[in-house]
């Protein structure tokens, strides 16, 4: 069977007219400490299938080292990367500020925020330089894991050692602010430092508890403070020249719809936390005050995107209008 000459010419023209990037196979990279398995990996596999239905085909590549994955995104070896919101902040500060310390306390607030960020009216803000955020998933609230229950107030944390992520200026500033000694760490080694007693305090989500064996660090004398210091997220950041605006918008809506699925995993993980106590009754107002002060201090230090912080305040006040901040006229 032979094709007519006009058809061959048409195919060739169509082929030459396609941008080079479209012809290259696309790769989406996924940062996952547990490798190509587990809930996140399954979610990304499902996303891959759903995206194919939208006409976008790509392969998935897993990284267990977030730093290497981020470098590959910058170098163009990854067309997109699913990474922690803390890491994503350097690519898209607007959406990367969702993980702000003291930003959102409740999962209900986070869900509203993620749906808001998937609104097409905010699509411009989701783009920064060569990058665009194409989806946000909840990773769970960050709680303080402490190896000694007698460290039960902000004052008693002063002088203790805390693991802070070297890629997060916010944590470093926060540590100095409350007087703890920062121990520079990263996602791959903070848990071993805690479990081996090198540091007294770490902040982590419940989903890290079993895989990273944080119960060993808490032991029988420690505590996990049931008060979110931040709402951690996973964010898919893509090179926006590699995907259409329509696909990006679809992708943000897709991930917003996956909120409940991700929350099932988080709630299950929180059920497992042992010695998971709220702050002592007398210290609860002071912890809340500390979170508010931390947020303001970090916004004013230029760590977080001011527009995001203003949006987050609106969300907080929508959920709990009785909060003192809701009538104080402050921006964030």
Partner 1 sequence: MAVQRRLVAVFFVLLCSRLWADEGSVWVERYTQAMKAQDSAALAELIADQATVAVTLTLGPQEAPMVVTLTRAEYLQQQKALWRFAAGQTIVISDVQQTVGDEGLSLSLHQKEAYQLFGQTFQQESDIVLTLQRFQGRYQVAHIRTRSRQW
For the CB of residue 210, give the shortest distance to partner 1 in the complex, in Å: 10
Q: Which is nearer to partner 1, 45 or 221 (CB)?
A: 221
For the CB of residue 220, give the shortest distance to partner 1 in the complex, in Å: 4
How far is it, in rounded angstroms, from Cα 130 to Cα 92? Answer: 9
For the CB of residue 151, give the shortest distance to partner 1 in the complex, in Å: 10
For the CB of residue 322, give the shortest distance to partner 1 in the complex, in Å: 19
How far is it, in rounded angstroms, from Cα 16 to Cα 177? Answer: 58
Which three-class secondary structure state does DSSP give residue 219?
Answer: coil
For the CB of residue 291, give the shortest distance to partner 1 in the complex, in Å: 18
For the CB of residue 109, give the shortest distance to partner 1 in the complex, in Å: 19
Structural tokens at position 203: 């902040």
- Largest Cα–Cα separation, the chain: 84
Q: Which is nearer to partner 1, 122 or 198 (CB)?
A: 198
Q: Which is nearer to partner 1, 139 or 225 (CB)?
A: 225
Q: Which is nearer to partner 1, 272 or 293 (CB)?
A: 272
For the CB of residue 250, give the shortest distance to partner 1 in the complex, in Å: 37
Q: Which is nearer to partner 1, 199 or 273 (CB)?
A: 273
Residues in contact with partner 1 by the rule CB under 8 A: 149-150, 152, 215-216, 219-221, 226, 270-282
Q: Which is nearer to partner 1, 103 or 279 (CB)?
A: 279
Q: Report strand pairing: 223-239 vs 161-165.
A: unpaired
Q: Which is nearer to partner 1, 260 or 281 (CB)?
A: 281
For the CB of residue 155, give the shortest distance to partner 1 in the complex, in Å: 13
User: Which residues contact residue 33 at a Cβ distance below 8 angstroms, ignoring those fewer than 6 apart?
Assistant: 64, 187, 188, 211, 212
How far is it, in rounded angstroms, from Cα 94 to Cα 184? Answer: 25
What angle in degrees, to the nearest 10, is found between the helix axes of 107-117 and 306-319? 130
Helical (H) or strand (E) element with 70:
helix 66-75
User: Which residues contact residue 61 at a Cβ distance below 8 angstroms, ignoring those fewer than 6 apart?
Assistant: 27, 28, 29, 30, 78
How far is it, in rounded angstroms, from Cα 199 to Cα 145? Answer: 10
Taking alpha carbons only, the member of 57, 86, 56, 54 closest to residue 70 is: 86
E strands present in the chain: 26-31, 58-63, 80-84, 127-128, 131-146, 161-165, 181-185, 201-205, 223-239, 276-277
Q: Which is nearer to partner 1, 151 or 290 (CB)?
A: 151
How many CA atoms, within 13 angstroms, populate the side-chain half-sphere of residue 53? 9
């Amino acid at each position: 069977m032979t094709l007519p000459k006009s058809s061959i010419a048409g195919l060739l023209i169509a082929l030459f007219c396609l941008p080079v990037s479209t012809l290259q196979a696309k790769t989406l990279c996924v940062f996952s400490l547990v490798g190509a398995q587990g809930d996140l990996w399954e979610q990304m596999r499902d996303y891959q299938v759903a995206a194919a239905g939208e006409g976008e085909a790509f392969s998935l590549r897993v990284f267990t080292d977030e730093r290497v994955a981020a470098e590959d995104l910058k170098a163009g070896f990854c067309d997109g990367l699913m990474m922690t919101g803390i890491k994503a902040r350097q690519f898209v500060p607007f959406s990367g500020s969702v993980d702000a310390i003291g930003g959102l306390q409740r999962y209900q607030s986070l869900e509203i925020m993620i749906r808001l960020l998937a609104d097409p009216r905010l699509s411009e803000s989701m783009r920064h330089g060569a990058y665009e955020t194409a989806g946000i998933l909840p990773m769970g609230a960050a709680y303080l894991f402490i190896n000694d229950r007698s460290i039960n107030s902000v004052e008693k944390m002063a002088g203790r050692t805390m693991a802070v992520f070297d890629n997060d200026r916010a944590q470093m500033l926060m540590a100095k602010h409350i007087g703890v000694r920062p121990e520079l760490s990263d996602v791959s080694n903070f848990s071993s430092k805690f479990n081996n007693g090198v540091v007294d305090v770490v902040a982590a989500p419940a989903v890290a508890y079993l895989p990273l064996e944080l119960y060993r660090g808490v032991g029988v004398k420690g505590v996990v403070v049931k008060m979110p210091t931040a709402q951690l997220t996973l964010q898919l950041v893509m090179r926006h020249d590699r995907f259409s605006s329509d696909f990006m918008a679809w992708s943000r809506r897709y991930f917003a719809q996956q909120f409940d699925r991700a929350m099932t995993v988080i709630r299950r993980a929180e059920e497992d936390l042992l010695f998971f106590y709220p702050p002592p009754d007398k210290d609860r107002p002071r912890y809340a005050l500390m979170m508010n002060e931390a947020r303001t201090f970090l916004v004013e230090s230029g760590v977080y995107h001011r527009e995001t912080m203003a949006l987050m305040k609106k969300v907080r006040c929508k959920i709990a209008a009785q909060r003192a901040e809701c009538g104080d006229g402050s921006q964030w």
